[in-house]
Amino acid sequence: MARTIHGVAVDAGSGLEASIRDVRGAKARPDDLVTFKRAVLESLGPYASTVLLDANTGPELLGNYPPTCAPMLAYEADVYHISGDDRITVLPDNFGIDDYPGMGVSQLKFFMYYAPDDDAGLNARKQDLIAKIGQHCHKIGIRYLFEPLVYHPTLTPGTRDYALAKPDLVRRATETFADPRFHADVLKVEVPVDLNFVVGFGERVMSRAEALQAFRDAAAPAVNCELVYLSAGVPFDHFEASLRMAGEAGVAFNGFMCGRAIWSDAVGIFGQSGEAALRTWLGDTGRDRLNKLIAALG
């Protein structure tokens, strides 16, 4: 059954831990990452439909979920931890898919870097792993949220050429993984346009009408699953505007999973002023940002 998802993602691993360590300096503690994530979960969880945590710190924070917020755990050793040049996600070694129900978690998230134009043999290996996880989730009755993070073998993200190619990359990845053999209940996809290259936001490379059509085309294949947008580290105002554009385009999407666009500024607050200041910021600015994203869904 389709549902509206107001998700907060705080599944970042070693990268976030390093950032916190850097800003904390001499005040750094071994449990700073858990402290930060607990603060996000407890401050924003009451207003979100779900909060996504990582496989390493998530299990110890399951008891901190608010009653109205559904737990979700990533099935990855460390978000963006990949096995060399093939960009295949490394699986956790501290629990398996069969452990989710016993932990009281009915939602699993898994991501994979995916280039539609990459080597066919490599893509087949990735697809087999993605399908195997989906089949296992389906078998034991937990929801599978799959996140294809697109890339291109030769084009660099943030460039004009990549911005022009991205809508089709997202469309083709969505078309691939919406196939029932992957058993994806939810596809967590990137916004198909880079607003830095859209008229009214940045360089005049893509018109607003072209951007709206890109949203429609990229989402069209998602007929067998729910569709949510991820923030992918863009500035908050760009992600909010992107959700509004998706609605303007008439895309039938189910919500969002937003991480750094909501809470990245809080890392510096935590580093400079400690946990109490972090929680104050999350309760004010963080909650305001989450509410604005919810309002952007219309």
Could you read off the pLDDT of 217-262 as tens digits, one per residue? 999 999 989 999 999 889 999 999 999 999 999 999 999 999 999 9
Would you say residue 283 has pLDDT above 70?
Answer: yes
Residue 79 is predicted with a pLDDT of: 60
pLDDT digits (tens, 9 = 90+) for 185-200: 999 999 999 999 999 9
Give the number of other CB atoms < 10 A from CB of residue 88: 15
Stated pTM of the model: 0.95
Give the position of tokens 């904390």: 24
Give the span between the Cα atoms of 91 and 78, in whole angstroms: 8
CA-nearest of 192, 193, 154 to 170 is: 192
- In contact, 187 and 178? CB cutoff 8 Å: yes
pLDDT digits (tens, 9 = 90+) for 60-107: 999 999 999 999 999 999 866 666 678 999 999 999 999 999 999 999
Among 42-56, 78-92, 132-146, 194-208, which is the least confidently predicted range?
78-92
Architecture of the domain whose range is 5-296: Alpha-Beta Barrel (3.20)
Give the span between the Cα atoms of 9 and 237, in whole angstroms: 17
Q: Which phi and psi angles does 229 have, rounded to 5°?
A: -100, 145
Buried b vs exposed e over 43-80: b needs ≥16 C-beta within 10 Å? bbbebbbbbbbbbbbbbebeebbeeebbbbbbbbbbbb
- In contact, 90 and 69? CB cutoff 8 Å: no
pLDDT digits (tens, 9 = 90+) for 142-158: 999 999 999 999 999 99
Residue 69 is predicted with a pLDDT of: 98
Q: Determine which helix (DSSP H) or strand (DSSP E) holds 145, and give its type and residue range.
A: strand 143-150
CA angle 190, 298, 8 (to 5 degrees): 45
Give the number of other CB atoms < 10 A from CB of residue 134: 21
Give the number of other CB atoms < 10 A from CB of residue 90: 12
